[in-house]
């Protein structure tokens, strides 16, 4: 059964913007960390941003240093969806972006092996 579905990837030039969406089933949304990871060719997968879905309209957020000030993670509870707004994109942001979800009890949000649910990924390509 499909639990997480990403969309919104594409190709843009340096300085451009994209918004990624991660649609979740209720099972994988509430009381979970919803996290975006990315993996560039030849590189390890890395955590980009995470948000804790705690029943409010804006859960606590976390960001990798490389995207702070450029990316914003947000939630829309009515649609059971998490977004990643990416501004001022750089060629080094080129990667496959994945959405993941887990309760992460006492675990750092960047630890990918802690996540049980993953989407299929969406490609982001930034040209110079």
- Please tell me the distance from the alpha carbon of residue 127 to that of residue 112, in angstroms, as a whole number: 27
pLDDT at 102: 93
pLDDT at 1: 46
pLDDT-derived band at 2, boundaries 50, 70, 90 = low
Residue 4 scores a pLDDT above 60: yes
Tens of pLDDT along 17-75?
A: 999 999 998 878 888 999 999 999 999 999 999 999 988 889 999 999 999 999 999 99
Tokens 């092996």 identify what position? Answer: 113
Average pLDDT over residues 102-108: 89
State the Cα torsion 32-33-34-35 to the nearest 10°.
-160
Share of the chain above pLDDT 70, in %: 98
pLDDT at 27: 77
The mean of the pLDDT values for the chain is 94
- Please tell me the distance from the alpha carbon of residue 47 to that of residue 61, in angstroms, as a whole number: 12
């Amino acid at each position: 059964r499909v639990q997480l579905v990403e969309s919104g990837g594409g190709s843009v030039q340096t300085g451009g913007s994209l918004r990624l969406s991660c649609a979740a089933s209720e099972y994988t949304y509430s009381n979970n960390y919803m996290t975006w990871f990315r993996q560039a060719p030849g590189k390890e997968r890395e955590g980009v941003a995470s948000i804790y879905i705690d029943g409010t309209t804006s859960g606590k957020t976390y960001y990798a240093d490389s995207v702070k000030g450029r990316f914003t993670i947000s939630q829309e509870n009515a649609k059971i969806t998490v977004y990643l707004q990416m501004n001022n994109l750089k060629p080094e942001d080129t990667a496959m972006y994945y959405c993941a979800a887990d309760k992460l009890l006492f675990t750092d949000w960047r630890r990918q092996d802690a996540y049980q649910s993953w989407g299929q990924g969406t490609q982001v390509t930034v040209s110079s």
